[in-house]
Homo-oligomer: A and B are copies of this chain.
């Protein structure tokens, strides 16, 4: 089944390879006869995570089908250690689906720092913003449709017409990645510094990973998500 995210998005597992045992199997090839000391899988996985022995985690792979707004896709695609096939706006006609933030996520610019969000907008200001987002999306899509229509006219090339569409339109892709690089993605995107709209995808994936490789996820949560790093000077 698909995990629903935002107003029209989702994350859905298509396939995966490997599990906690596969991580240990690979790690034990490396350690060979010398693994007697770390007896159980969970202990071995925690040891690997703690010492940044990342290659055994690359032995697991997952493939997801994701539907997401374009501005989220633009952040996501920056993670280069993955395999991607995206819906093509050159060949195909995009669907009329736009992300419109819910009231509580219509956040103001933070006044404390440049990069974050403050309180949710309220009252008239919130209403005005929502109206614009909706009206501009609708109009942009109406024109998109009208431009590509071949009804009584030539019809603009799809690859050109899509440039009129705003960044809150939804796209889709298949996204395949190994577990080590997925953890790296999750550390950066399930983090408080990440934009809310990508963070909810990362959080949905955290749930998926927790089910898939519980021991690895627990180690990740402890040593990466929840960890504190002290600088040499700080120590």
What are 22 inter-chain pairs, A to B, with CB distance below 8 A? A17-B63, A29-B174, A30-B87, A32-B93, A34-B91, A50-B231, A58-B176, A59-B83, A71-B162, A73-B74, A91-B114, A117-B159, A132-B143, A136-B136, A136-B140, A164-B168, A166-B166, A222-B231, A222-B232, A223-B231, A225-B232, A227-B230
**Interface residues in A39-78 (C-beta closer than 8 Å to B):** 50-52, 55-56, 58-59, 61, 63, 69-71, 73-74, 77-78
Smallest CB separation, A164 vs chain B (Å): 5
Identical chains bound together, number: 4
- A26: Cβ under 8 A from any B Cβ: yes
The answer to whether A58 and B83 touch (CB under 8 A), given A117-B157, A136-B139, A232-B226, is yes
Smallest CB separation, A17 vs chain B (Å): 4
Smallest CB separation, A120 vs chain B (Å): 9
The answer to whether A160 and B101 touch (CB under 8 A), given A31-B91, A80-B80, is yes
User: Which B residues are in CB contact (< 8 Å) with A20?
Assistant: none
- Could you say which of A105-113, A200-208, A209-217 contacts chain B? A105-113
User: Which B residues are in CB contact (< 8 Å) with A114?
Assistant: 31, 34, 37, 91
Smallest CB separation, A156 vs chain B (Å): 5
User: Which B residues are in CB contact (< 8 Å) with A26?
Assistant: 85, 174
- A119: Cβ under 8 A from any B Cβ: yes
Bound CA span A150–B7, Å: 27
Bound CA span A153–B41, Å: 35
Smallest CB separation, A139 vs chain B (Å): 7
Smallest CB separation, A193 vs chain B (Å): 7
Bound CA span A114–B153, Å: 17
Bound CA span A22–B25, Å: 26
The answer to whether A150 and B92 touch (CB under 8 A), given A133-B163, A229-B229, is no
- A233: Cβ under 8 A from any B Cβ: yes
